[in-house]
Structures are given as C-alpha cells and as structure tokens.
Structure 1
Amino acid sequence: MSGKRQNNSGHLTCPRGFTLQDNYVYWDSTMEGLLIAGYYIGLGPASLPFGVISGKINVKSMMIGLTVIMVVTSALTPVLTFVSPYVVLVTRIIVGISAGGLEPGATQLLSDWAPLPERAQMMVLVETGLNRCSIFFLVTANSIGAIFNFLLSGLICSIPVLGGWPFIYYIFGGVNLLALVLFGLFVYNKPSKHPRITPMELDLIEKHRDKRSVDTVSHIPWLKMLTSSAFWGCVLGFITSGIIFMIMAICLPLYIEQVLKFDPTVNGAVSAIVFVGRVAGAVVFGYLADIVYSKTRLSIRHLRKLFQVAGLLGSVPIIIWIGFLDERDRVLAVVLMTLYWFIVSAMNSGFRANPADIAPRFAGLINGISIALTAILSAIAPLIVTAITPNGTAEEWQRVFYGVVGVSVLGSVVFVILASGEEQEWAKDPKIVTDMVIRVSDKEITISKSHQNGLDLESKPLLSNNNRLHA
C-alpha cells in the first residue's frame, strides 16, 4: 500500500493518522473515542424523526430498509478501515442513524400487536430477542446480541486470515440478513393483515388493545404530550435504564480487566456470562408481571411502578457489595454482577411496556424521544467513568458504583411520582367510538358515543313504550 512509512516499533504508519501491523489497524485514543461516539452521534438525532414517522408510514418497510442499510454499511467497514478513520466514522454514524429507527418501529409494532395481559412479556422478550412469535424475528435483541458478541468476537479474531477481525462484520452481517428474510416473510404491520392468524387470536388481540378510527396518525398533540407528567415519567424511566446500561454494560469489560484482573482472552466470556443474567431476568419478570396483572386486582399504574422500583432498588445492595470486592473475589464478583443484571431487568416490565400503556398511538414516538435523550447521556457516561477511574483501582470503581446507586434511587422516585398506566386523554383517537353508560328506568344501558359526532348511528333508541330517561 502506498503512502505508508515504517516507524521504529515496526508498525506501518499511515499519513491519515492510524498505524497498521499484521492486518490490524491501530488508532490513537482520541480517534477511538470518536469512533465509539459516532454510533451515538447518529442514533440520538435520528431517533426522534423516526419516532414521529413510525405511526404514519408502513413500519415493516421502514425497518427492512434501515436493516439493509446497516448490513451494507457494516460489510463495507473492513475495507474502508484501511482508507481513513474519518470514513469509518461516517459508517458508524450511518449505522447509528439506521439503529435510531429500529426500536421506535418495533415499539409501534408492539402497540398494535400486544394485548394488555401479555404486554410486559412481549415487550421484554422483544428487547432480549427471545420471543417465539413471528412478529419479533428482527427487532432489537440487545441482550442476546451482546452475549454472542462477547463470546464469538474473540473466537472469530483467531481466524488466520486478514487478522480475523473483518469476519466479525461479515458473520454478524450474515446473521442479520437471515433475520431480515424471516422478518420479511412472517411479520405484518397489523394483526388483521396477517394471513395465518386465527379468528380466536385476532379476537383476543382486538379485545385487549386500543381502538382506532384509522391505522395512521395524522396529528401529534405536541404541547399536551410534552406537558404530561405520564409522558415524562415514561421518558425518564428510559433515561434511567440507559444510563445504568451504559455504565454497567458498556464499561463492564474495563472493570473486569482493571479490578478483577481477568486475562483479556477470557474477558469476553466473563462479560457474556454476566449478560445471561440480564436475559434471564427480563424473561422471568416479564412473565411474572403479566401473571400478577391477570391474577390480581393490581392496576397497570401500580404494576409498572412496582416492577420499576423492584428492579432499581432491589439491585442497590448488590451493586454496593460489588464495590467492596477486588481480584481476590473475582468469582464472587462475577456471580453478583450476574445477579445484579437479573434483578435490575425487572424494570423492563415497568418503563419499557409503559409507552403502549399511556399512548398506544404514539408508542413509537415516545420511544424515539426517549432514545434520543438517552443517547446524549450515553455518549457522556463513558467520559465520566474514565475520568473517575484514571488508575482503574477498586476504590475508584467504588465511586462509579455509588453513582449507579444514586441514579437508581433518583430514577425510582421520579417514576413513582410521574408515571401512569392509563391511556392519556391527549393520546386518544378523537374520532373513536367509546362506551357511555346511562340509566334507563332501573337498568343500566351501555350506548356508543363518538367523541366527535355524538351518538353512533347504530345506537338503538333509548326510549320505548312508557320507559322514561332518568336524570
């Protein structure tokens, strides 16, 4: 390759600001940080507009298009790596922009598919990528993806061709293509449009979801939404989860390396083991939340708050305990971190299911706003962690864990005060037909009343013979 010079250490130094040796590219720490941030630079600004349009367009087509862009961009990344780090930065931003539309799209799909008695488990199983239903083949799968990423990346890098690392992009890209094919074949925007859904299944879904006069949203009540306490309770629940995830998940390999002193070759395996707790917790608490709702008289409002607080405050003693451990307690630390993720995952049955509770028509929009705000803080969190842990000592990481405790407590208080479980007035379809109970003689009769047009045309006469309408 032209334009390279060899330095004293034997590396080939490229004039574009990176070094090359044995098919590996090395950037300075500033460029590495910028490349990591590139994903969030794209993710944050893109989430809001994608959230806005997710209720107005064909969500399935949007998600397919964004996934194709991600796969193609990722496939080109290994080649572009040898061109310029700034070109790679552009690819990272593009991937972030594409990812910014996937979760709002998935949330909007769920608001149309998930019946209330199964909403929590569907939401969290989509988040972990475990749901067996056809609609959920492609959506986020964050935890499962993280586990396989940690486990397989090191193994893939051992492939004795081009240093192995380019195959990470090609193998995971191939898996995404397979998921995309399944998604295209089996996923439909609405239950009513699925050709293989049974009448019983369709009836169950329709009975336990919001009713709409049209499938798409034409008007967004921005002022009422942004001044709603229920909206901010939901959004701040997302932000709390995002901060904790960034500190405890993204920065996890640093803690394992610096404090627990695990060999780098097993760091990925240890990180994957910890994420198993997150997957298991999401599944268990998702089913538990729906069972509690079905078997008790607990309202949706109190159900969401219960699981949000249980996850955040229930995990506090464990994270404090972890802060007092060092490399002599490495096995105990791994066990406790796994248990921590298991317990904290209970909050997925709180904030994550909440957009479909309070505003089913705008669930994708709320998700997009939440991701946009969370992405900003997610880009800042690693900088704060590295500033607090310049030497990587156990004492320094103890301060990080105390910060997580503070976020957990504050997030619990805010969610309890602001969150709701009922569909908000500003979120309701103004043209929808709703039920109104009136009293005729000594009997209660339910009639249909339109918010906009008065009595439904199919309503039966209220008075017959000598019956009188009592005030």
Structure 2
Amino acid sequence: MIKKQKLQGTSTDDWKQYHAFTLWFPPRCCSARFNLAFLMFLGFTVVYGLRVNLSVAMVAMVNSTDPDPDGNHSVTNACPPPSGRENTSNNFQQPAGVPHYNWDSETQGWLLGAFFFGYLCTQIPGGYLAGHYGGKFFLGLGVLGTAALTLLTPLAAKWGSYWLFALRALEGFGEGVTYPAMMAIWARWAPPLERSRLIAMSASGGSFGAFVALPLTGYICQMLGWPTVFYICGGAGCLWAVFWFIFVSDDPRNHRRISKEERDYIIKTVGPQGTGHGWSLPLLHMALSVQLWAIIVTQMCSNWAYYTLLTSLPTYMDVILHFDLQSNGFLSSLPYLGSWLMAWLSGVMADALIERRVFSVTVVRKIFTFVGLFLPSVFLVAVVYAGCDHILIVTFLTLSMTTGGFSAAGVFINQIDIAPRYAGFLLGITNTFGTIPGVVAPIVTGYFTEDRTLAGWAKVFWVAAGINAGGAVIYTFLGSSKLQPWALTEEERAEAERKRNSEPKNQRKKKIRPDGSLST
C-alpha cells in the first residue's frame, strides 16, 4: 500500500537535503531502485569473490607457508593444533597433477597486495567518467574485465610469480572503477531518505562475497584443485555482467520498467543534484575541504584493519592456528557474515534515525563511524591477549568484523551527503587513498610475520587496532554531512539568490553566504 510521506520545507541545515517536498512515497518492495540495489549486491558479491579467492587458494598453491622449504627454520611461540586435530592444512592432498609453488612469506605478501597496485590507478578517472556519463557501463565493464582476467590465473602462476603479480595488478586496474561507478549511479537513483539503506545494501555485497568465497574456495581447492577456483569465480562474473547490461539503466528517467510514480518520486527528491557534473570540477575547493579530508583519512585508517584481515586472515588461520584447509576457509569467512548482516542493519537504522529526526545527519554519520571503527579495535587487541585459545580468537575476530559493519552507514557513504553530484568522483578520491593500506598492509604483515611467531602477529593486530581507533577519533571531530557550497548546481544557486532577495535585509547575513549559496 502506498503511504503519504510528509516532508518538511526547505531549510539551511542538514535537513534541507532530506525534507524538501510533499509527495507520495512509493513502496520499496520490488521497486526499480531496490532491484538495482539487489543486482549491485550480487555484483559486489562476485567482485569480492574475485578479490579474496587468492587469499585461501594461496595456502593450497604453496601447500606450505613455511618460508624455509628445507624445514630448517626455527619456529617459536607457535600455537598447537586445535583440540582433537592431528592434521594441519599442510597435510591435505589435492587431485593429482595440481601444481604447487615454492613462494616464501614475503613473496606471498607481494602477490596478495598486487591487486591493489592496479586498483589504485582507476579509482579517480573511473569516478570522474562515471559521474559525467553514468556508472552502468563502468561498473559492468569493471566486473566483466576482472572476471575474464581471473580465468587466466592458473596460467600466470605456471609462468611465475612475476606474471601472477602482473595479472593481479591488472585485475585491480579493471575493478578500480566499480565502487566510484556505484556511487555515481546512486547519486541519480537514491532518494535522500533511503541513501543509507540502498548504498549499504549494495556495498555489503563485498562482505557477503568474502563470506561465500572463503569457505567455498577451501572446499573447491581440496576437492577439485586450486585452479578450478579461478575458473568458477571468473565464470560467475561473466554471467552476472550479462544480467547487468540487460536490466540496468544509468538514470531513472530512461529506465524501461520503472513506474511513473517511482520515477517522479526519485527525480523530485534527488533534485538538481541527480544530474551529471559535466567536464569541469571545483578541484581547488575539494582539495581545501576539511570534510572531504576527514573522509579520506578515516577510510585509510579503517581500511588498514579491513585489508589486513581480508588478505592475511587465511594465512594466520593456517600458520598460527593450524586449521585444515576447509576449516580455514569457513572460519575465515565468519567475520564477513557478521559484517554483511550489520551493514544491512546499520543502513536501515541510520535512515530511520534521520527520517524521524532523532539526530541530524551529521550526528548519525559520526555515531555509526565511531562505533564501526573503535569497537573493532577493541576486539583486535583482545585477539592478542587470547593467546592460543582457538575459540576466543575466532570469536574476537568475528566480533571485530561484525561491529565494523556499522561504518557502512557512516563515513563510507559520506561523499553523497556533502556533494551528491560529485559523489562518484569523490569516492574515487577517497577510495584511492583508502586503497593504499591494501597495498601496504599485506607487505607489512609479511615482514612482521616472517618468523611465523605469535609476537609477529601481535604486532599486526596492534598496528591495525591503533590505526582504526585513530580514524574513529579523527572523524568524530572533523566529519560532517552538510551539503558543501561548492557542490551546488546553478539552479540551486539561483534559488538561493532568489531567497536572499526575498528576505528582509536584517536576516540575510544569518542565512546566506557571501557567494550567495545557502548557509550551513
């Protein structure tokens, strides 16, 4: 049933973005915008499957993470196998003829980080082009290209580690456009009162993809051999791309299956911000924006811990905890199940708080960001003090990733608050900086854990926890969700000028900026 949603008139604070019209509120179930969110969710599920499969497959590819293949390496402070287990992941058998490679921990760290070297290169140009042309083509092509390249992974590994490094970097190059393109699409499709849930639902496909891919990769490696993992994941990405290009449109105005009611609702609520940004950009204003830098620094801090676990957790489960390959994949995936569920919940909660005016949009973003960064830090520290208690370690790691899902409705969608029509480009900027930890963290982890000791892994968790907590503090003091003056369209500036001229002179200074834009 359709219900009427009363939205308040224009104002000059956070609520101006969210309460601008009195209109009919079309149902969400089976709507074009939620179908789009679900298809995006599946796309990012595939994307993260393509990204993390190497983390588990690496255990099978080398069949031992010991940097000294001759067995002369002295290991101190290593944990005993889980209770009731005599076999470790190093003793499993794969199908006959499956190749194995003698890569030390440093080489593995470089290979796990290779993806992010390419990923860094296309974030900003991808976001810029998606913001101008629309994100459908760039998101679809990013997933399709990465999937096609994944099919070549066994061949590249056979040729050598340098070839595999280059291939993974090229996969990252193709996938770099996906998240900026997603944000550019939602800038045109997401009504302000539904931004949190739509974007969180879409992006949570990453956590769900890790949850599915990690145990599935372990099972496939043991049953069919590690090369099959890359054939299956690559094929799934190619299949998804077919549905994406058939059913998705860049703009609700040209969607073939959307109802007139829903189209009008989206266009009216999104307003002038739901258009392309053209070729020119206010780069100087962006570079000087404290709000944007708060997002950049906070995402870098958060991503350090996230990418550390994403790329290195299977190795930790193997080297320190000695879980067999199937258990390794399953237990490594549990944190991402919690993160996925919490991301969905946080999106719904954030929209409810905003819609009911419990808190301002800025306060909502800060609450979800602080909880989503500080609590994971606490649980990472708890992992260090858990010693070799397998149950406690898995519990704390799961709680760390689960509570991290809160930030899905916080800093990670803040770009669309401060500058909706530039959201794709801004996400390209913030994700570029946010990807630097993806390059550095696996390499640092490789150096810290070269001796395969608890002390080395304790350093990994302490560093991740400290950086994460620092990000929570920075965003709490500097974050904002106010629409920035440099993001206003000409239409919005003209409206601001009209209001300025219609108000008494003694009130103008309180509500109008010197440049004629709305005061915040």
From 154, 178, 191, the equivalent of 2:218 is: 154
Match of 2:184 among 108, 118, 132: 108
Rounded Cα–Cα distance in structure 2 between residues aligned with 1:213 and 1:292 = 24
The alpha carbon displacement at 1:439 in A equals 5.8
Question: Aligned pair in 2 of structure 1 residues 307, 97: CA closer, same or farther (>3 Å)?
Answer: same
Q: Which amino acid aligns with 2:486?
A: W
**How many Å separate the matches in 2 of 1:275 and 1:440?**
53
Q: Does 1:261 align with 2:322?
A: yes
118-127 vs 200-209, greater mean Cα deviation? 200-209
Q: 2:375 aligns with which of 311, 314, 321?
A: 314
Alpha-carbon distance in structure 1 between the residues aligned to 2:173 and 2:465: 31
Deviation at 1:31, TM superposition (A): 4.3
Name the CA shift for 1:177/1:453 in 2 (closer, same or farther; >3 Å).
same
For 2:15, the equivalent position in structure 1 comes to none
Identify the match of residue 238 of structure 1 among 299, 309, 319: 299
> Could you tell me which of 229, 254, 258 is aligned with 1:193?
254
Deviation at residue 354 of structure 1 after TM alignment:
0.4
Contact 2:128 2:425 in 1 (8 A): yes
1:359 is matched with which residue? 419
Partner of residue 333, structure 1: 393
Using the TM superposition, give the Cα deviation of residue 181 of structure 1 relative to its aligned residue in structure 2, in angstroms: 1.7
What pairs with 1:199-238 in structure 2 (closer than 5 Å)?
A: 199-212=260-273, 215-238=276-299
What is the RMSD computed on CA atoms of the aligned residues? 2.8
- Residues 182/37 of structure 1: CA separation in 2 closer, same or farther (3 Å cut): same
Contact 1:48–1:368, Cα closer than 8 Å, also in 2:
yes
| Aligned partner letter, 1:353 | I
Deviation at 1:166, TM superposition (A): 2.0
Determine whether 1:122 maps to 2:198.
yes
Offset of 1:208 from its aligned partner?
2.9
**Partner of 1:28: helix, strand, or coil?**
coil
What CA distance in whole angstroms lies between the structure 1 residues aligned with 2:333 and 2:198? Answer: 23
Q: CA deviation at 1:94?
A: 1.6
For 1:396 and 1:63, how far apart are their aligned partners in 2? Answer: 38
2:295–2:475 CA contact under 8 A, matched in 1:
yes
Say which SS state the counterpart of residue 369 (structure 2) adopts.
Answer: helix
Q: In structure 2, what is the Cα distance between the partners aligned to 1:300 and 1:217?
A: 27
Report whether the alignment pairs 1:181 with 2:242. Answer: yes
Per-residue CA deviations over 1:36-86 (Å, capped at 9, x if unaligned) read 332111111221221222212242122223333222222233234333443
Are residue 83 (structure 1) and residue 144 (structure 2) matched?
Answer: no
1:217 positional shift: 2.0
Q: Say if 2:109 and 2:446, in contact at 8 Å, map to a contact too.
A: no
Where does residue 343 of structure 2 map in the other structure?
282
Does the 8 A contact of 1:308 with 1:349 survive in 2? yes
When residues 68 and 180 of structure 1 are mapped into structure 2, their CA distance, relative to the original with a 3 A threshold, is same
Matched, 1:26 2:86: no
Aligned to 2:207: 143
Note if 1:294 corresponds to 2:358.
no
Report the more deviating stretch, 151-160 or 336-345.
151-160
Task: Report if aligned partners of 2:298, 2:475 keep a CA contact under 8 Å in 1.
Answer: yes
Corresponding residue to 2:432 among 372, 390, 393: 372
Q: 1:371-417: per-residue Cα shift (whole Å, max 9, x none)?
A: 22222232111222233334444344333333233212211121122
Residue 204 of structure 1: CA displacement? 2.9
| 1:38 counterpart = 2:111 | no
Amino acid at match of 1:229: V
Which string of whole-angstrom CA distances, capped at 9 and with x for unpartnered residues, describes residues 416-438 of structure 1? 22221111111122344535446
Structure possessing the higher radius of gyration over alpha carbons: 1
Q: Summarize deviations over 1:218-246 as a string: whole Å, max 9, x none.
A: 21111110100011112222212211201
What residue number does 1:135 align with?
A: none
Q: Is the Cα–Cα contact under 8 Å of residues 300 and 436 in structure 2 kept in the other structure?
A: no
1:92 and 1:234 map into 2 onto residues whose CA distance is 27
Structure 1 residue 453: deviation in Å? 12
Report the TM-score when normalising by structure 2: 0.73
1:25–1:82 CA contact under 8 A, matched in 2: no
> 1:68 is paired with a residue of what secondary structure?
helix
What are structure 1's unaligned runs of at least 5 residues? 1-8, 10-20, 130-141, 455-471
Name the SS for the 2:151 alignment partner: helix
Quote the Cα distance in structure 2 between the aligned partners of 1:334 and 1:62. 37
Aligned ranges 1:389-468 → 2 under 5 Å: 389-432=449-492, 433-434=494-495, 436-437=498-499
Return the structure number with greater strand share. Answer: 1
Whether the 8 Å CA contact 1:104–1:367 is kept in 2: the answer is yes
Query: 1:137 matched to which residue of 2?
Result: none
SS in 2 for 1:403: helix
Partner of 1:48: 124
Partners of 2:458 and 2:112 in 1: how far apart?
Answer: 25
Deviations 1:78-103 (A, max 9, x none): 23433344333332222111011111
Aligned to 2:91: none
Distance 1:341 1:86, change over 3 A: closer
Letter in 1 for 2:295: C
- Larger mean Cα displacement after TM superposition, 369-378 or 287-296: 369-378
Provide the identity percentage: 26
Q: Is the 8 A contact 2:222 2:325 kept in 1?
A: no
Q: TM-score, normalised by structure 1?
A: 0.80
- Which residue of structure 2 aligns with residue 460 of structure 1? none
Contact 2:113 2:438 in 1 (8 A): no
The answer on whether the counterparts of 2:374 and 2:469 sit within 8 Å (CA) in structure 1 is: yes
- SS for the counterpart of 2:422 is helix
SS in 1 for 2:133: coil
In structure 2, relative to structure 1, the CA distance for the partners of 1:86 and 1:375 (3 Å cut) is: same
Deviations 1:301-359 (A, max 9, x none): 111111101112233433322221133x2123222222221112111111111011011
Letter in 1 for 2:230: Y
SS at match of 1:422: coil
Distance 1:120-1:431 versus aligned 2 partners, 3 A rule? same
* Structure 2: tracts of 5 or more residues without a match: 1-68, 70-95
Contact 1:81 1:88 in 2 (8 A): yes
Residue aligning to 1:97: 173
Match for residue 61 of structure 2? Answer: none
Secondary structure class of the residue paired with 1:261 = coil
Deviation at 1:297, TM superposition (A): 4.0
> Secondary structure of the residue that 1:55 maps to in structure 2?
helix
Q: Contact (CA 8 Å) 2:207, 2:339: kept in 1 or not?
A: yes
